[in-house]
Amino acid sequence: MSSKTNEKETPHNNDNEPIVKPGYGLDRMDPGPLSIMVSSRRDLRLLCDKFQIEGNRYRNLFNSRIYFKGKAEGETLLSLTGPIIGAPYAVIILETLISFGATQIIYLGSCGAVSPEVKIGDIIIPSGCLIDEGTSRHYRSVKDDFTEPSSALVENLKLTAKWMKVDCRHGLIWTTDAVFRETPGKVAGYRNRGVLAVEMELSALFTVGKSYGVDMAGILVVSDELSTLRWKPGFKTDAFKKGRMAVIDIIGEICKSR
C-alpha cells in the first residue's frame, strides 16, 4: 500500500542537512531487496522481458519508469528503473530508491573503451572509478579522485559471470560529465592511469552509495572505442548486442538465486 511522504520539512539544526530530502512528496514504493538501475530504454525492455514483467506494469519516477517483479504472496522481489543518463540524474534516482528502502543496487550501462585491450562487446565489472564529474564532491571531501563499489556485490557479479562462463574484465572506469570533451589528451591521460573505459554515472553512484552505507555496484558493456583517439561506434554491432544479452542473463541469474 503506497503512502505519500510528508511534504513539510521540520526546522534544521544542522547546516549540512539537506532542506529537500529524497522521497519527499512522492508516493512510497517498495523497491525490493535488489534494485537494478538501467541506463538505456532498450536494456530496460529486455530486462522486463527477462523477468516477464508486462510493459504497462510501471510507475513513473521523475523522467524514468520503475517496474516491479513480485513474489506470489505480493512481496516485491526486485525493481527495474530507467532510463538514466548523467551523474546528477542518476544520483537523484539512487537517493530516491534508498529513501524507499533499497539496500542493494546494481547499475547496468554502456561505456567507451579507453584501453586498447578492451573491445566493443566486452563486459566490464568496475573495481573502482576515477571521478571527473561534479556530483561526487557534494557527498565527500575532495581528497582524491577515486571511489569504489561494494566489494560483496562486485564479488557476486564476478562469481555469477564465472559460473555462467561469461568472460568479464575487472578494472578502473573514468566517469565524465562531458561526453563531447573526451579529448585525446584526456583519453591518453586516463589510459596511462590504467583506466579501461569511460562512462557518465558510476563514480557518483559509488560515492553516494558509500555515503549512505548501501551496497552499490555496476556492470557495463563496451559500446564504442576511443583508444585509437578516433571514435569507433559499435552500438549496432553483433558484438555489442551479444555482450548486452550476456549482461541481461547475468542480472537474471543473480535475481533468480535470491
Looking at residue 169, its pLDDT comes to: 98
Q: Is residue 123 scored above 90 in pLDDT?
A: yes
Looking at residue 1, its pLDDT comes to: 37
Looking at residue 25, its pLDDT comes to: 85
pTM over 0.85: yes
Range of the domain at 205: 34-256
- B/e letters for 99-116, b = 16+ CB within 10 Å, e = fewer, are bbebbbbbbbbbbbbbbe
Looking at residue 143, its pLDDT comes to: 78
Residues with Cβ < 8 Å from 197, sequence gap 6 or more? 111, 112, 113, 114, 115, 118, 124, 173, 174, 220, 222
| pLDDT tens figures, 42-92 | 999 999 999 999 888 899 999 999 999 986 556 788 999 999 999 999 999
| Domain annotation covers residue 41 | yes
The C-alpha atoms of residue 35 and residue 18 are separated, in whole angstroms, by 24
| Domain annotation covers residue 23 | no
Looking at residue 4, its pLDDT comes to: 54
Query: Binning pLDDT at 50, 70 and 90, where does residue 192 land?
Result: very high
Task: Give, to the nearest 10 degrees, the angle between helix 87-100 and helix 202-212.
Answer: 30
Percent of the chain with pLDDT over 70: 92
Q: Is residue 145 scored above 60 in pLDDT?
A: yes
| Domain annotation covers residue 164 | yes
Q: Is residue 8 scored above 50 in pLDDT?
A: no
Q: Is residue 139 scored above 60 in pLDDT?
A: yes
Looking at residue 14, its pLDDT comes to: 77
| pLDDT tens figures, 79-101 | 999 999 999 999 999 999 999 99
| Domain annotation covers residue 98 | yes
Average pLDDT over residues 189-211: 98
Query: Binning pLDDT at 50, 70 and 90, where does residue 9 land?
Result: very low
CATH number for position 43: 3.40.50.1580
| Domain annotation covers residue 234 | yes
| Domain annotation covers residue 101 | yes
Domains in the chain, number: 1
| Domain annotation covers residue 48 | yes
| Domain annotation covers residue 1 | no
